[in-house]
């Protein structure tokens, strides 16, 4: 979310155990308010038998829908595109890291930008 919407300024999280017989969360929700004024919401359910892989960005002029997130479909107010994900979803990140080390290309997520994610994690514990 930070990559898309900017630095997080506030974050809150809720988690609970509904199904699992041990005390480990099986669902969690995080709300993040970014410096741009945008709010993002991450909602995960490990206990649900309903498969979900949703990703939507809603704004004042419409919606971008990437559901399922790892699928090829990208729907937006002006049309639709098919952009297939790599067969190994981790490959693009690993490739970017290796290129940064070997070819000095820019990292998509540096240590500095990753600290924003760590900050959100600390705020939502």
Determine the 3-state secondary structure of 93 from DSSP.
helix
pTM recorded for the entire structure? 0.82
Helix, strand, coil share of the chain (percent; to 5) = 25, 30, 45
Within-domain flag for 7: yes
Structure tokens, 33:
């308010």
pLDDT tens digits along 45-59: 988 888 889 999 999
The pLDDT assigned to 96 comes to 96
What is the percent of the chain with per-residue pLDDT over 70, rounded to a whole number?
Answer: 100
Helix (H) or strand (E) holding 12: strand 8-16
* Residue 72 lies inside a defined structural domain of this protein: no
Structural domain contains residue 98: yes
Confidence of residue 111 (pLDDT cuts 50, 70, 90): confident
57 found inside a domain: no
Total domains, the chain: 1
Distance CA 39, CA 12 (A): 11
Task: Let me know if residue 20 belongs to a domain.
Answer: yes
Query: What DSSP element (H or E) covers 29?
Result: strand 27-34
What's the CA gap between 40 and 7, in Å, rounded?
12
**Torsion, Cα of 24, 114, 34, 39 (10° steps):** -40
Look over the chain and give the mean of its residue pLDDT values, rounded to a whole number. Answer: 93
Indicate whether 60 belongs to any domain: no
Cα–Cα distance measured from residue 92 to residue 96, given in angstroms and rounded to the nearest whole number: 6
For 94, the domain range is: 2-52+86-123
pLDDT over threshold 90, residue 70: no
């Amino acid at each position: 979310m930070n990559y898309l919407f900017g630095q997080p300024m506030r974050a809150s999280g809720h988690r609970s155990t509904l199904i699992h017989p041990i005390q480990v969360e099986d669902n969690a929700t995080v709300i993040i308010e970014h410096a741009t004024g945008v709010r993002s919401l991450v909602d995960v359910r490990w206990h649900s038998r309903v498969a979900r892989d949703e990703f939507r960005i809603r704004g004042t002029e419409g919606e971008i829908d990437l559901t399922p997130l790892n699928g090829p479909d990208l729907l937006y107010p002006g049309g639709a595109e098919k952009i297939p994900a790599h067969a190994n979803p981790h490959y693009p990140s690993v490739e970017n890291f290796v290129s940064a080390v070997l070819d000095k290309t820019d990292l998509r997520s540096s240590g500095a930008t990753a600290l924003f994610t760590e900050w959100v994690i600390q705020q939502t514990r």
